Amino acid sequence: MSDAGVIHDIGYQRYEGPRLGRSAVFGAIYQHGLRASFGLGRSAKAKIFPWLVAGIVLLVAVINAAVKAQANIILFDYFSFDDTMSWLVIFFVAIVAPELVSRDMRSGVLPLYFSRPLRAFDYIGAKFVALATAVFLLLGVPQLIMFLGGAFTTDDGAKGVWNEFLDLLPGWGYSLLWAVVFASISLLIASVTGKRAFAAGGIVAFFLMTAPVVGVLSILPSSTAQHLAGLASPMSLLVGVQAWLRGRNDLDLDVGDFGVIYGIEAFCLVFAALLLLLARYRKVASL
Amino acid sequence: MSTVAYITARGLLGRRRVLLLLPLPLLLVGLALICRAYDVDPDQWGQAVVVGLGLAVMLPVISLIIGTGVLGSEVDDGTIVHILTKPLARRDIILAKLLVAAGVSAVTSAIPLFVTGVLADSVRFGLALVVGAVAGAIAYSALFLLLSLVTRRPVLLGLAYILVWEGLLGRFVSGTRVLSIEQYVITIADRIAPTGMLDGKVSVPVAIVMTVIFAIGGTIYAVNRLGSFSVAGETS
């Protein structure tokens, strides 16, 4: 054969170093997502809204710790703190979730992502874990402040600190539950549209419109309907799971004997949201 | 001016995203129907449905999506330049956009509120809710239209107003209610048809005057902002 068909080597240097695999890509997206959640590495404008929310939540925790230390009045315990902050958590995921997924769709960089050794599962998993971590930090750090406030003012020495710590651990678990549920649902809604503004509006509208449904169902003249009312909204669903796991009946929501159903629905909700996200990105990835 | 209004309305209603406006009104009417079907006393569900869903969520969220959409999406896309370079007074552009935004928000939220009001109490209550919703839609639209000119993140700022100012602070701090459009709507509707369901926390003159101030003040300031509008670069 002649030399006509030869592709000439014009001297570009080949990359000979180690090639990082899927796990490195996962780690990079996760780290970048977590930093982007709080606007780190972005301009000052991108920091305003996340830190506004974080500031309010921290302020409430500090006030709570101070009031408890000075006047021994307990405004919130670790669990009701999460419930009271629910609107701020909604606002936070409405800020962050579109930032994580809608931006990539809007600027059309998804084909670049998926030209790497990266599956749809990795991309979604990394974004989901990043958002869940951010929400957990949003709730968990203030809870830690409340714990420190309680620990330094305890009267029982080390035993008091230990008891306070045993209260904190399930509180953190509850925050983790909040983080997982809110992260999965908000990412699913945000992945529908590339416009950040519409994604944010959609997330808030979804969470807020479910709350009155619970209010209506809980006044229907049927005790089963009342016990199951909390299933209609993610916020009351989490309260229901809390009531089931802690065996409490004095919360806002009476779950009766249906506590298990709350647990099952919380699990299925997260699972279904992640599966739908996966299905969504299977399609986007092939574009 | 009518052309601007026509183009705005087509941009708003002609796309798939108009479907985003449907779930909230349907849910509102659906809940009211369920309660009627089970013969629950309106005093029990009226507050949760009419105020909790209708006036605190549906009206502001719909006004937010529409109010920031009419001008904000054009600023985002950069097509605002085409309108600005036409020989049109900036005042006319704002007025046309505001008219469309307030009109669409008012219609989408007043109709379901009317149905809910009739189901809950009486036609009079339904009409009172319609008047309140229309006044609220105008004030909200002016405010959110202004936001889309003042900042590059109008939806988030609007959500902060709805969630944090009206929602969270309005519940705990009484002073913030004087600057809450939701409270004006409740007060106006309660004045027209007094029922146990609505609980206006501000006085009637304050509500009316402040609604007018929000509507006219927002419009004037928006005209002013658009007059000195400069097409900025990329968002951060």
CB spacing of B20 vs A200 below 8 angstroms: no
What is the Cα–Cα distance from A143 to B103, expressed in whole angstroms? 46
Q: Is any Cβ of chain A less than 8 angstroms from the Cβ of B24?
A: yes
With beta carbons less than 8 A apart as the criterion, state whether A186 and A93 touch.
Answer: yes
Q: Minimum mean pLDDT among A195-199, A283-287, B35-39, B158-162: which range?
A: A283-287
Please give, rounded to a whole number of angstroms, the shortest distance from the CA of B115 to a CA of chain A. 17
Give the model confidence (pLDDT) of A217-271 as tens digits. Answer: 887 777 888 888 888 889 989 988 988 888 877 777 777 778 888 999 999 999 9
The DSSP call for residue A15 is P
Instruction: Say what the alpha-carbon torsion angle A28, A32, A33, A36 is, to the nearest 10 degrees.
Output: 180
Structure token pair of residue A209: 């419109």
Residues of chain A contacting residue B154, judged by C-beta atoms under 8 Å apart: 197
Residues of chain A contacting residue B159, judged by C-beta atoms under 8 Å apart: 91, 94, 200-201, 204
Selecting from B24, B69, B163 the residue whose C-beta is nearest the C-beta of A209 gives B24
Residue that the structure tokens 């678990």 belong to: A173
Give the model confidence (pLDDT) of B4-33 as tens digits. Answer: 888 888 888 877 767 777 888 898 888 888
CB spacing of A197 vs B154 below 8 angstroms: yes
Residues of chain A contacting residue B40, judged by C-beta atoms under 8 Å apart: 219-221
Interface size A-B, in CB pairs within 8 Å, comes to: 101
Selecting from B73, B155, B235 the residue whose C-beta is nearest the C-beta of A200 gives B155
What is the Cα–Cα distance from A60 to A141, expressed in whole angstroms? 12
With beta carbons less than 8 A apart as the criterion, state whether A229 and A221 touch.
Answer: no
Q: Residue B63: which of B190, B215, B226 has the closest Cα?
A: B215
What is the Cα–Cα distance from A265 to A258, expressed in whole angstroms? 11
CB spacing of B155 vs A197 below 8 angstroms: yes
Residues of chain B contacting residue A195, judged by C-beta atoms under 8 Å apart: 73, 76
Residues of chain A contacting residue B233, judged by C-beta atoms under 8 Å apart: none
> In Å, what is the CA distance from B179 to each residue of A117, A264, B50, B190, B213?
53, 43, 21, 18, 11
B124-133 average pLDDT score = 92
Residues of chain A contacting residue B50, judged by C-beta atoms under 8 Å apart: none
User: In the prediction, which pLDDT does A129 show?
Assistant: 96
Q: Minimum mean pLDDT among A83-97, A196-210, B13-27, B185-199: which range?
A: B13-27
Residue in chain B closest to A192 (alpha carbons) equals B17
> In Å, what is the CA distance from A179 to each residue of A173, A234, A283, B12?
10, 11, 27, 34
Residue B142: exposure state from Cβ atoms within 10 A (0-12, 13-18, ≥19): buried
Maximum alpha-carbon separation in chain A:
93
With beta carbons less than 8 A apart as the criterion, state whether B88 and B4 touch.
Answer: yes
Q: Check whether A79 has a pLDDT greater than 70.
A: yes
Give the model confidence (pLDDT) of A186-228 as tens digits. Answer: 999 999 887 888 888 889 888 988 888 888 888 777 788 888 8
In chain B, % helix, strand, coil (3-state, to 5) comes to: 80, 0, 20
What is the Cα–Cα distance from B224 to A237, expressed in whole angstroms? 47
User: In the prediction, which pLDDT does B236 show?
Assistant: 43
Task: Please give the backbone phi and psi of residue A38, each rounded to the nearest 5 degrees, phi first.
Answer: -105, 10
Give the model confidence (pLDDT) of B211-236 as tens digits. Answer: 999 999 999 999 998 888 776 655 54
Please give, rounded to a whole number of angstroms, the shortest distance from the CA of B25 to a CA of chain A. 10
Please give, rounded to a whole number of angstroms, the shortest distance from the CA of B87 to a CA of chain A. 30
Cβ neighbours, 10 Å, residue B230: 4
Selecting from A56, A197, A204 the residue whose C-beta is nearest the C-beta of B68 gives A197
The confidence band for B105, taking pLDDT boundaries of 50, 70 and 90, is very high
What is the Cα–Cα distance from B223 to B149, expressed in whole angstroms? 9
For residue B76, what are the contacts with CB-CB under 8 A and spacing of at least 6? A195, A197
Selecting from B35, B57, B160 the residue whose C-beta is nearest the C-beta of A209 gives B57
CB spacing of A45 vs B236 below 8 angstroms: yes
Encode B145-179: b = buried (16+ Cβ within 10 Å), e = exposed: bbbbbebebbbbbbbbbbbbbbbbbbeeeeebbeb
Amino acid at A246: R
Residues of chain B contacting residue A45, judged by C-beta atoms under 8 Å apart: 152-153, 235-236
CB spacing of A91 vs B159 below 8 angstroms: yes
Please give, rounded to a whole number of angstroms, the shortest distance from the CA of A125 to a CA of chain B. 25
Mutate to test the interface with A, among B50, B153, B161, B166 (most CBs of A within 10 A): B153
